[in-house]
Amino acid sequence: MKGARLVIALMLLSLPLHAQRGGRGGGGFNPGFRVDPVIDKLPYDGRFTLVRLSFTTNSPAGYYYRGLPAWAHGYPTAEQNLMRIVSEISALHPLLYRSTVIAPDDPQLFKYPVAYIAEADYWGLNDKEVECLRAYLKKGGFIIFDDFRDDYRDGFQGWATFSAMMKRILPESRIVDLTPANPIFHSFFDISSFDIFPQYYDRSKPIFRGIYQDNDPKKRLMVMINFNTDVSNFWEFSATGFQPVEASNEAYKMGVNFIVYALTH
């Protein structure tokens, strides 16, 4: 029943919500210029908002997609579409049609329980931002990392860049591989296998990892890491028809589970 409802909700995305021709596996690559994204920074009004974290793009290569800084890839369409799905299938009433961007050292971040970061293979943080993200996670915040990999653009150092930065934020943390049995994959929808999870353009299999509070698997996950995959690309382009509905549904299920888990743990 939930799966059917998700398909119905997905059909509501037939309107071109910022729909753009071509995914990141197809066009839109313009490495010769840079574009400053037009962002929303909305005042907090109590509604759930999947806030996107900005950061300093640490390499010119990070501007490969439409000239945007790495953190802005997919903004704001991906999170807005996911929030529409969440609104349709759950009792949560999130902010719809708009989104907000927060800098890692902005005190307003602590009002938002869940944050999203794209392209962490290009992220750069100063010491203040590192300290703020550490405090955010330890006080109960949850961060979803998505859309990063080892490829020629990042010098095949995507994972090394990400893990080094996480060591600055949480020096004692251990990054662990997650299995489909982990509660996060069953917090709303049951995701029984990673083998069925679609890849938009990444090669080989997606890798899902996490960081537990105090490195204790009996405690909550603080960090969800989607490596070698781009879950949010399905959210971003689900209204375009470039991918089968079934593939977009699997990505939405994953996103819904992340949100529900974060709000209940």
Check whether 27 has a pLDDT greater than 60.
Answer: no
- Least confidently predicted of 18-22, 47-51, 89-93: 18-22
Check whether 18 has a pLDDT greater than 60.
Answer: no
Measuring CA to CA, how many Å separate 92 from each of 48, 81, 88, 151, 229?
Answer: 8, 15, 9, 37, 27
The SS3 of residue 93 is coil
Could you give the number of structural domains in the chain? Answer: 1
Residue type, 147: D
Closest CA to 201 of 14, 27, 81: 27
Check whether 22 has a pLDDT greater than 80.
Answer: no
Half-sphere exposure of 11 (CA within 13 A, CB side): 5
Tokens of 142: 């949850």
Task: Report yes or no: 257 and 186 within 8 Å, Cβ to Cβ.
Answer: yes
What is the CATH number for 186?
3.40.50.12140
Domain that holds residue 179: 2-264
CA distance 208 to 145: 10
Burial label for 113, CB within 10 Å (0-12, 13-18, 19+), is middle
Q: What is the pLDDT of residues 162-191, one digit of tens each?
A: 999 999 999 999 999 999 999 999 999 999
Q: What is the pLDDT of residues 62-105, one digit of tens each?
A: 999 999 999 999 999 999 999 999 999 999 999 999 999 999 99
CB neighbours of residue 246 within 10 Å: 12
Please give the backbone phi and psi of residue 54, each rounded to the nearest 5 degrees, phi first. -90, 160
Q: What is the pLDDT of residue 28?
A: 56
Task: Report yes or no: 114 and 47 within 8 Å, Cβ to Cβ.
Answer: no
